[in-house]
Amino acid sequence: MVQKEVETIIVGGGIAGLGCARTLQDNNRPFLLITENVGGRILTSKDRKVNYGAYYVGNDYTNVLKYVEKKRILVPLGVEFHRRDRGYFLLNYRFLLNFRQFLRLMFYYYENLKFIIKSSKKSV
């Protein structure tokens, strides 16, 4: 076995680990990346139909923005939820069966939307 000495060991291949690796590579620094899967929690299902983990990146994610491409704004009625092998949209009869929880979800969504908009304005 060939032994190699490195200055930096990065544990985890999530966005932080990959960002660190990129910075080290850009500066020609040796490193070793130890990870179970590249991307960390940014995963896609085996059939490539469902994204897991990081769902959106806001304008306040300044360290991440240079690695991602802006695609579209999230629209509440277009958000799809996944449980096991099934997907469903926000306006679904399952939510109506538990209307109180549905209202709570909508309240939290709009509260967070206000925060995201405020953060976006600050970072511009």
pLDDT digits (tens, 9 = 90+) for 98-110: 777 777 877 877 7
CA distances 114 to 30, 57, 61, Å, are 43, 15, 16
Q: Is the pTM of this model over 0.85?
A: no
- Domain coordinates of the chain in residue numbers? 1-55, 67-124
CA distances 27 to 5, 15, 30, 50, Å, are 18, 18, 9, 35
Q: Which residues, other chains included, contact 101 with Cβ-Cβ below 8 Å and sequence gap of 6+?
A: 95
Instruction: List, for residues 30-82, the tens digit of each pLDDT value.
Output: 999 999 878 777 777 777 776 666 556 667 777 777 777 766 666 666 666 66
3-state secondary structure of 119: helix
Q: Cα–Cα distance between 21 and 13 in angstroms, integer?
A: 9
The gap between the terminal CA atoms of the chain, to the nearest Å, is 51
**∠ at Cα 44 (43, 50), nearest 5°?**
130
